[in-house]
Structure 1
Amino acid sequence: MSPLAGTAAPVTPDAFRAVMGAHPGGVSVVTTADESGQPYGFACTAVCSVSLDPPLLLVCASNTGSTLPVLAARGAFVVNFLHGPGQRAAEAFASRTAGRFSRVPWEPAPATGLPALHEDSHALAECRVERLVPAGDHTVVIGEVLRTEVAEDAAASGGSATAPLLYGMRRYVTWPV
């Protein structure tokens, strides 16, 4: 018999949140826009590379948020990988309050024209939606990476201004350099 087999009680949402929160992850803001140009976005720690050939990544989007339907309809999105000073963007996009894009500077990304948070990011990936996979209360969005950017000092030196922002154990920290 497996050591994990047995009659364990179902895992509660709070217990699952606690175990996942104990493992820090990089913080990103996923952005898109509707057909009229209205920007949408959400904070995300569920970002993962999927494939090098073709270049694919995934993000997990809440089924109840306002961004997923817009992202699916638009068929494109930008992953803004936040650096330490980008915590303000993380906090703005983790909230469900309106006006998130008025709280952070942004500009259209070169390939997709979608919102890019250059001042708060050390890297970004512009993506085309490859596939949407329903998974519980979220949807796994697989994107083909069309274009990337990495801040020069992030690639060369890991400078503190561009060190990645992490979230875990209910707090933000910057990757030590």
Structure 2
Amino acid sequence: MTAATSDRPVDSPPDSGFLDAMAALAGGVCVVTALTSEGGPVGFTSTAVMSLSREPQLLAIGVGRRGRTLPALLDGRGFALNILHGGGEHVSRRFADRSADRFADLEWSTEERGGLPLLLAHSSYAVLCRVVRDLPAGDHQLIVAAVEEVVPGTGGPTALVHHDRRYHALGAA
């Protein structure tokens, strides 16, 4: 197998079992938050997050091209990666629901420098990032971001993981 080198989408075989295979891959649950050009908060749930480089500190996220958050990520203001704690399933579900008013009646605050929306009460950490590169990746955009600051959350030391289409809390209770 060779790596794809173009921006052309790779064709998938029908009924390949891809979604089942990816459901078997456990992933940490995060909520990516940003501000629109009008200053309103937006965000989405993601398990498509990876640590990319220690020096410089970089991470990568996958973002659906049809989502409301992608334009806010690409406008240069940056974003916050809120790493949900073990009790954050309700927050994850809310930010995964396209019809939900995601920030309504939810405890959140703004970061001082750029006003990014932070979910510290629901997170172990919030990682403040600046986009340094974006690449097309099928129906998603791959975002490479520089870590600018790490803010401890108040949600505790547990982790929320998604595996086999279910949520699991890991770590100390």
TM more than 0.5: yes
Deviation per residue, 1:20-66 (Å, 9 max, x gap): 00111000000000132201100000111111111110111001111
8 Å contact kept, 1:112–1:126 = no
Match of 1:126 in 2: 128
Structure 2: stretches of 5+ with no match in the other structure: 2-11
Paired residue secondary structure (1:89): helix
Structure 1: stretches of 5+ with no match in the other structure: 3-9, 155-160
Q: Which amino acid aligns with 1:141?
A: I
8 Å contact kept, 2:36–2:71 = no
Structure whose CA Rg is larger: 1
- 1:70 deviation in Å? 1.6
Pairs aligned (count): 163
Match of 2:164 in 1: 169
Sequence identity percentage:
36
Deviation per residue, 1:145-176 (Å, 9 max, x gap): 00002348x8xxxxxx4301000111100114
TM-score of the pair, normalised by structure 1: 0.84
Query: 20, 26, 32: which one pairs with 2:28?
Result: 26
Q: Which amino acid aligns with 2:106?
A: V
Distance 2:15 2:30 in 1: 23
Q: Which amino acid aligns with 2:103?
A: F
| Structure showing the higher helix proportion among its residues | 1
Q: Which amino acid aligns with 1:62?
A: G
TM-score of the pair, normalised by structure 2: 0.86
Deviation per residue, 1:54-111 (Å, 9 max, x gap): 1110111001111101211144100000001111110001111141111421111234
1:58 and 2:60 are equivalent in the alignment: yes
Aligned positions of 1:1-177 closer than 5 A: 10-12=12-14, 15-151=17-153, 161-177=156-172
